[in-house]
Amino acid sequence: MRKILAIAGSDCSGGAGIQADLKTITSHKMYGMSVITALTAQNTTGVFGVMESTPDFAAKQLDAVFSDIYPDAVKIGMVSSKTLIEVIAEKLAEYKAKNIVLDPVMISTSGSKLLNDDAIETLKYKLMPLADIITPNIPEAECLSGIKIKNKQDMEEAALKISKNFPGHILIKGGHLEDSSDDLLFHDGMFSWYNHEKIKNTNTHGTGCTLSSAIACSLADGFTVAESIFNAKNYLTGALNYNLNLGKGRGPLNHCWNI
Ligand SMILES: Nc1ncnc2c1ncn2[C@@H]1O[C@H](COP(=O)(O)OP(=O)(O)O)[C@@H](O)[C@H]1O
Ligand SMILES: Cc1ncc(COP(=O)(O)O)c(N)n1
């Protein structure tokens, strides 16, 4: 049994965050664990409140997990604040966590801030160095690179810029592109494109959370990063195609389409 840890925020409406992570992990027939960094009051239409875990309590959760059921891979999502990031980075280093996928969650699809402005530098310099792969969407890649992204060429430029401070795999997700959903992987000086047509479906709440958890599952199974992205995109495409059409806004995915 592969064991996957998700470090992320809770989405009470079940489409994104920890809930999406655990559903994804279970659909991969793996054992999911969760360190909750924040509670959010949100649904398919927006985020109405955030209550952060204290850094001490996040540390206690990390100790409880790592000292008992050592994870084969770790997915990190919403980390909310500077002090939470510091504690997470410290604990991941202390326990020598492996196969770390960092989704640098900053703003929800509905436009709410999920990372404090003063935490961005800490994310860049304390958490990113521990990750094997980071998976920014276009607005997050703009923030990490300082480059405005309007097309695929800008995505390549942004990846190059981010790579100056991060030697791991950089996956810039293209879900926010207008005419395709092509994702760009940059590693070791090489660009690889995962091309995908845009599925005509507005129910995309939690796509990023789902993709990063699915990548963590394949890494835990021993696939390379490039193979893990390919597998994760297949899983995500199924979850988008078999969408549930729930809620009044951007609805959730169907995580159980494959079981
Ligand atoms: N309408 C869509 N059709 C196909 N793939 C999509 C669609 N929307 C998002 N994706 C894919 O979902 C994943 C998450 O992308 P994105 O929506 O950019 O991230 P986030 O949820 O972090 O904003 C990417 O692999 C992207 O290509
Ligand atoms: C707790 C939590 N974590 C992450 C997201 C981002 O997901 P999305 O980009 O689909 O809004 C979210 N909305 N809520």
Q: Residue 102 maps to which CATH number?
A: 3.40.1190.20
Assess if residue 181 is contained within a domain.
Answer: no
Give the ligand whose atoms come closest to the C-alpha of residue 138. 1
In a domain, residue 188? The reply is no
99 belongs to a structural domain: yes
Q: Does residue 178 lie in a domain region?
A: no
CA distance 236 to 82: 30
Active site residue 204: yes
**Residue 161 falls inside a structural domain:** no
pLDDT tens, 186-200? 999 999 999 988 999
Q: Tens digit of pLDDT per residue, the chain (259 long)? A: 999 999 999 999 999 999 999 999 999 999 999 999 999 999 999 999 999 999 999 999 999 999 999 999 999 999 999 999 999 999 999 999 999 999 999 998 878 889 999 999 999 999 999 999 999 999 999 999 999 999 999 999 999 999 999 999 999 999 999 989 999 999 999 999 999 889 998 999 999 999 999 999 999 999 999 999 999 999 999 999 997 889 999 999 999 999 9
Q: What would the DSSP string read from start to end of the chain?
A: --EEEEEEEEETTSSSHHHHHHHHHHHTT-EEEEEEEEEEEEETTEEEEEEEPPHHHHHHHHHHHHTTS--SEEEE---BSHHHHHHHHHHHHHTT--SEEE----B-TTS-B-B-GGGHHHIIIIIGGG-SEE---HHHHHHHH-----SHHHHHHHHHHHHTT--SEEEE--TT-SS---EEEEETTEEEEE--PPPS-S--BTHHHHHHHHHHHHHHTT--HHHHHHHHHHHHHHHHHT----SSSSPBP-TTTT-
pLDDT computed for residue 16 by the predictor: 97
Tens digits of per-residue pLDDT, 23-74? 999 999 999 999 999 999 999 999 999 999 999 999 999 999 999 999 999 9
**What is the dihedral sign for C-alpha 170, 27, 14, 207?**
positive
The active-site residue, picked from 82, 204, 210, 217, is: 204
Q: Assess if residue 146 is contained within a domain.
A: no
* Displacement of CA 152 from its chain's centroid (Å): 21
Give the residue numbers spanning the domain of 24.
3-139+200-241
Please state, in angstroms and rounded to a whole number, the distance separating the CA atoms of residues 93 and 23: 27
Q: How far is the CA of 240 from the centre of ligand 1 (A)?
A: 9
User: What pLDDT, on a 0 to 100 scale, did the predictor assign at position 108?
Assistant: 87
Ligand 2 centroid – CA 75 distance (Å): 14
Told to judge if 202 belongs to the known catalytic residues of this protein, a careful annotator would answer no
Would 164 be classed as within a structural domain? no
Catalytic site includes residue 40: no
Known catalytic residue at 75? no
- Report the chain's mean pLDDT, rounded to a whole number: 96
Ligand 1 atom, smallest distance to 16 CA: 21
CA of 17 to the centre of ligand 2 (A): 5
- Ligand 2 atom, smallest distance to 109 CA: 11
For residue 238, the model assigns a pLDDT of 96
Name the closest-CA residue to atom 22, ligand 1.
208
What total number of domains does the chain contain?
A: 1
> Does residue 66 lie within any of the structural domains?
yes
pLDDT of residue 88: 98
